[in-house]
Amino acid sequence: MSVHTSPETETVTRVLGEAASRHFGGPVTIERLSRQSGGASRQTWSFDAIVNGTRQPLILRRDPPAQGKTERERAVAIDRATEFRVVRAAHDAGVRAPEPLFELTPQDGLGEAYVMRRVGGIAIARKLLRDAPYEAARGKIAGQLGEILARIHATDPATLPPLPRREAADHIAGLRRSLDALGRPQPVFELALSWLDRRKPAPLDRPVLVHGDYRTGNYLVDETGVTTILDWELAHLGDPVEDLGWLCVKSWRFGAIDKPAGGFGSREELWAAYERAGGGRVDPARAHWWEVFGTVHWGIICLNQAWKHLSGSIKSMEHASIGRRAVETEVDLLQLLKQGA
């Protein structure tokens, strides 16, 4: 019986075989290729490379050449070549990051792309928070995330490719532009942006590597705990507390609202592990500011998703369902602003 494959899958299989053969220095067979996630402009593929009879589990990160990036991706996301170098620097520094192996060339015709080792584990929050196999891991995750984050922030800047530097004022300005582009009054988000602007932390003398999307859903976990950190395309130089605040945004707790550290522990547990692993002392007021910022950030992303659907530019139930969550973040913001008044 023949197995039907799409033209895209056939092309990716052929090109990966050629590129992997160059890297490993001999014939390579590609098996079990499947598209895992991502939109039209950013893709992740899983596959096995058979090298000298040995199965190598790998991942392809790819931006196809014919697809344009969204406005937000153009504004904040690094390209795949830069991402490859960031992940390699983090991995070499001892961070639990996938090991990058090789980049594809323009002549390969797959667009911006690189291959890294596949790491075991799952990222589905619902399973991690509730399923029996992860019961022991649940008690470790908050501390592990703090330790890993300290290593990320300790990555030597000299080993990194050129990255944008984003301070608090830059982030606020970007969110204002996104909100203004909607052309509709949004009182809660406007109030929150004014609160953030009046209280924004001063820039650091020495910015560090910031992951930029450090949250539940962007790391893998097995029965022993966190195995690797994923999704580095928003990496930049900036304030390390940005990552700590983003992880604690209520939306990333997936229902475990009493455990701010990604749904798995307290802020204090997260901060203590971060400090023990060599991260700087966490100022609770600064962490609160970044948590408010993260909540505004996610809320405005939700609004943008909603208006893409409502305007007809992208008819998508996924966009619509994400968009309706903007109201949740408004409630979260009013509670956070009251705490920080």
Pair (136, 50) in one structural domain = no
Pair (135, 49) in one structural domain = no
Indicate whether 300 belongs to any domain. Answer: yes
Q: What is the predicted pLDDT for the residue at 42?
A: 80
Last residue of a domain, one of 117, 141, 168: 117
Distance separating alpha carbons of residues 33 and 259, to the nearest angstrom: 37
Torsion of CA 233, 167, 290, 272, to 10 degrees: 80
Last residue of a domain, one of 69, 100, 117: 117
Pair (137, 161) in one structural domain = yes
Listed residue (192, 169, 196, 332) closest to 253, CA to CA: 332
Report the domain count for the chain: 2
Pair (157, 174) in one structural domain = yes
The percentage of the chain sitting over the pLDDT mark of 90, rounded to a whole number, equals 82
Does residue 2 register a pLDDT over 50? no
The CATH number that applies at residue 28 is: 3.30.200
Indicate whether 133 belongs to any domain. Answer: yes
| Domain membership of residue 169 as a residue range | 125-339
Last residue of a domain, one of 94, 117, 140: 117
CB 234 within 8 A of CB 166: no
Pair (109, 239) in one structural domain = no
Torsion sign, CA atoms 157, 158, 160, 163? positive
Distance separating alpha carbons of residues 328 and 324, to the nearest angstrom: 8
Query: Both tokens of residue 204?
Result: 């650091």
CB 261 within 8 A of CB 145: yes
Q: pTM of the prediction? A: 0.93
Give tens-digit pLDDT for 180-235: 988 889 999 999 999 999 999 999 999 999 999 999 999 999 999 999 999 999 99
Indicate whether 246 belongs to any domain. Answer: yes
Pair (182, 90) in one structural domain = no
Does residue 277 register a pLDDT over 80? yes
Pair (113, 180) in one structural domain = no
Q: What is the predicted pLDDT for the residue at 1?
A: 39
Pair (44, 112) in one structural domain = yes
> What would you measure as the largest C-alpha separation in the chain, in angstroms?
67
The CATH number that applies at residue 267 is: 3.90.1200.10
Distance separating alpha carbons of residues 337 and 328, to the nearest angstrom: 14
Give tens-digit pLDDT for 34-87: 998 655 558 999 999 999 999 999 999 999 875 545 555 567 889 999 999 999
Indicate whether 174 belongs to any domain. Answer: yes
- Give 60's strand partners: 45, 115
Beta strands per DSSP E along 107-193: 112-117
Query: Both tokens of residue 3?
Result: 């197995």
Pair (80, 137) in one structural domain = no
Give tens-digit pLDDT for 128-139: 999 999 999 999
Indicate whether 191 belongs to any domain. Answer: yes
Pair (97, 239) in one structural domain = no
Indicate whether 2 belongs to any domain. Answer: no
- Give 237's strand partners: 165, 209
Q: What is the predicted pLDDT for the residue at 69?
A: 53
Indicate whether 220 belongs to any domain. Answer: yes
Indicate whether 1 belongs to any domain. Answer: no
Beta strands per DSSP E along the chain: 28-37, 43-51, 54-63, 100-103, 112-117, 208-210, 219-222, 225-229, 236-238
Pair (287, 154) in one structural domain = yes
Give tens-digit pLDDT for 105-158: 999 999 999 999 999 999 999 999 999 999 999 999 999 999 999 999 999 999
Pair (48, 22) in one structural domain = yes
Higher pLDDT, residue 317 or 231: 231
The arithmetic mean of pLDDT across residues 261-265, rounded, is 98
Half-sphere exposure of 299 (CA within 13 A, CB side): 28
